[in-house]
């Protein structure tokens, strides 16, 4: 090696050292001059507190609440996250209008946020929400969804052993919710349950290809949820330049691209079919048909020429979000609710009394949407289940202007994490907060005292628009299951079901024995 090369190498090393020192100085200058410092762990350059919170910020936030209080901060790279874990601190964040300064959630790369969940533009979000709410909350849609849930359950239970059947509800329910969500959203058959029972092999090559796509979709949903967590809590420099993180980032992009391309293909084909339909042919009640015909001459609710219909990209983002939420969140809530019910036989007994009072003793009687509205105790069971075993422990928000939270002045673009999991367990709002007591929700809980103390579907203007759809599916499934069957946990010792954290708490295994009651 020549002398010149050695000097060049030494110079390069010196430059790198200077750049690192400058970066560290800039990093800590930002940290020590931040507006309204809050308690929290001391961050390291580049990664912040990533080495401490890892990829489970909910667990970290919960475990360190006693040390740092109801409002504290953690750092991810150069970004400060302010954790809020008391209802009094989130009152102005969960306001019911789009003029709130806390409208944005968090940008999720590799996904076109033109729908609702990941759309941070108030104007397009407001327009899209009106259309989606008009679809998902309409009695026509919910009645059809009630019928579809029963049909799919009845079809599946015909394969169960008549005496005793062991099943992993964590796997079964993911297949069930995949099938019903895809059929509801796209009006196309889905074969996840069929695959769960009989495997992926099929003699018909077309059917075999559809089965593979269904199975891949189920896996893609899980990967997408992991991507949400990855994008929120991994610093950009790691995602773009460090080999392990870089390759994960590419994997998540490929997964999101596949979801988008698959949905756009379904949309394109269905739009052509609708365009070729006769004027007297009826449009389906599935979500895709409703969204494609909203505010068009085929819309049964009328056509406003001053407002354009949804674009393919907007429809794509919306049905993808609904598919992901309907597949994963509803399925996990079902598992957690069944687990709690089996642990509390007295609650099951009262629930069955309600079933008999409303539906009679005929276990084959069809359940109507109107029936579901009468199940007040079941409604309380589901609410209490989501409080005790909180599915979505954290909700992100970003401020667009300076704000005052908890007496602290915070700059614009501050990132907030609302800790639902802890808020749902605060003893000042709930007597014996760790106990499963559905009766507490038979009382009035939405008064000013408990405002924001129970927020399973989020709050404010961005409350989940699919909450009615989720409740219809959960109520119908729980009635069908406990009306006809006794359920026993194979693992009746564990205090909690087996879970892992992605963007939500996912039930990874829940083996049960299902026996007919009669």
148-189 pLDDT, tens digit per residue, is 999 999 988 887 767 778 899 999 999 899 889 888 887 777
Checking if the pLDDT of 204 tops 70, the result is no
- Please choose, from the candidates 335, 255, 318, 362, the residue with its C-alpha nearest in 3D space to the C-alpha of residue 500: 335
Task: Give the per-residue pLDDT at 484.
Answer: 92
Grouping H, G, I as helix, E, B as strand and the rest as coil, residue 165 is: strand
Distance CA 368, CA 475 (A): 11
Question: Which is more confidently placed, 362 or 444?
Answer: 362
pTM of the model: 0.90
Find residue 80's DSSP bridge partners.
75
Grouping H, G, I as helix, E, B as strand and the rest as coil, residue 485 is: strand
The bridge status of strand 71-76 relative to strand 79-84 is antiparallel
Average pLDDT, rounded, for the chain: 87
Find residue 84's DSSP bridge partners.
71, 418
Distance CA 169, CA 518 (A): 22
Side-chain half-sphere CA neighbours of 515 within 13 A = 10
Judge contact between 425 and 436, C-beta under 8 A: no
- Please choose, from the candidates 61, 60, 26, the residue with its C-alpha nearest in 3D space to the C-alpha of residue 46: 26
Grouping H, G, I as helix, E, B as strand and the rest as coil, residue 44 is: strand
The bridge status of strand 79-84 relative to strand 415-419 is parallel
Q: Average pLDDT of 332-341?
A: 96
Distance CA 331, CA 172 (A): 9
Taken in order of first residue, the domains within the chain and their CATH numbers are: 34-516 (1.10.630.10)
Side-chain half-sphere CA neighbours of 291 within 13 A = 30
Instruction: Assign 3-class secondary structure to 221-269.
Output: HHHHHHHHHHHHHCCHHHHHHCHHHHHHHHHHHHHHHHHHHHHHHHHHH
Checking if the pLDDT of 112 tops 80, the result is no
The answer to whether 464 is a known ligand-binding residue is yes
pLDDT 10s digits, 346-397: 999 999 999 999 999 998 899 999 999 999 999 999 999 999 999 999 999 9
The bridge status of strand 394-398 relative to strand 505-509 is unpaired
pLDDT band for position 497 (50/70/90)?
Answer: very high
Cβ neighbours, 10 Å, residue 305 = 7
- Measured in Å, how far apart are the chain's first and last C-alpha atoms? 87
pLDDT band for position 410 (50/70/90)?
Answer: very high
Interhelix angle for 345-359 vs 376-388, to 10°?
150
The bridge status of strand 511-516 relative to strand 165-168 is antiparallel
The bridge status of strand 403-405 relative to strand 408-410 is antiparallel
Distance CA 181, CA 165 (A): 25
| Residue 467 structure tokens | 């909450």
Task: Give the per-residue pLDDT at 356.
Answer: 96
Checking if the pLDDT of 483 tops 90, the result is yes
Give the dihedral sign, CA 502/240/323/458.
Answer: positive
């Amino acid at each position: 090696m020549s002398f010149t090369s050695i000097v060049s190498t030494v110079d390069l090393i010196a430059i790198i050292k200077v750049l690192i020192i400058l970066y560290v100085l800039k990093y800590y200058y930002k940290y020590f001059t931040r507006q309204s410092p809050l308690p929290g762990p001391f961050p390291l350059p580049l990664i912040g507190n990533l080495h401490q919170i890892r990829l489970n910020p909910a667990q970290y936030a919960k475990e360190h609440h006693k040390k740092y209080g109801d409002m504290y901060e953690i750092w991810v790279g150069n970004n400060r996250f302010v954790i809020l874990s008391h209802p009094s601190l989130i009152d102005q964040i969960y306001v019911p209008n789009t003029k709130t300064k806390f409208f944005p959630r968090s940008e999720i790369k590799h996904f076109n946020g033109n729908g609702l969940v990941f759309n941070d533009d108030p104007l397009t979000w407001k327009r899209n929400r009106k259309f989606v709410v008009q679809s998902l909350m309409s009695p026509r849609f919910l009645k059809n969804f009630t019928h579809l849930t029963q049909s799919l359950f009845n079809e599946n239970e015909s394969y169960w052993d008549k005496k005793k059947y062991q099943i992993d509800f964590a796997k079964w329910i993911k297949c069930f919710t995949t099938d019903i969500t895809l059929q509801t959203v796209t009006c196309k058959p889905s074969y996840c349950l069929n695959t769960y029972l009989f495997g992926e092999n099929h003699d018909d090559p077309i059917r075999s290809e559809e089965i593979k796509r269904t199975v891949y979709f189920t896996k893609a949903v899980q990967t997408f949820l992991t991507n949400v967590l990855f994008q929120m809590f991994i610093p950009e420099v790691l995602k773009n330049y460090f080999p392990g993180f870089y390759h994960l980032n590419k994997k998540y992009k490929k997964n999101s691209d596949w979801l988008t391309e698959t949905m756009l293909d379904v949309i394109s084909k269905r739009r052509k079919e609708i365009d070729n339909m006769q004027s007297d042919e009826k449009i389906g009640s599935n979500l895709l048909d409703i969204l494609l015909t909203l505010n068009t001459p085929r819309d049964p609710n009328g056509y406003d020429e001053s407002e354009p219909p949804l674009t393919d990209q907007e429809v794509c983002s919306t049905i993808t979000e609904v598919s992901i939420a309907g597949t994963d969140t509803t399925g996990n809530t079902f598992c957690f609710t069944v687990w709690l019910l089996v642990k509390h036989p007295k609650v099951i007994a009262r629930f069955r009394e309600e079933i008999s009072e409303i539906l009679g003793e005929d276990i084959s009687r069809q359940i109507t949407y109107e029936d579901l509205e009468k199940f007040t105790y079941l409604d309380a069971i589901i609410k209490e289940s989501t409080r005790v075993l909180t599915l979505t422990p954290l909700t992100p928000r970003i401020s667009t202007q300076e704000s005052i939270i908890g007496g602290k002045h915070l700059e614009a673009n501050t990132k907030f994490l609302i800790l639902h999991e802890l808020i749902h367990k605060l003893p000042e709002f709930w007597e014996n907060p760790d106990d499963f007591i559905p009766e507490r929700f038979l009382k009035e809980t939405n008064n000013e005292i408990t405002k924001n103390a129970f927020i399973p579907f989020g709050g404010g203007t961005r409350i989940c628009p699919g909450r009615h759809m989720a409740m219809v599916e959960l109520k119908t499934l729980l009635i069908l299951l406990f009306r006809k069957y006794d359920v026993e946990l194979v693992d009746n010792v564990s205090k909690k079901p087996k879970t892992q954290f992605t963007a939500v708490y996912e039930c990874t295994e829940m083996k049960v024995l299902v026996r007919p009651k009669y």
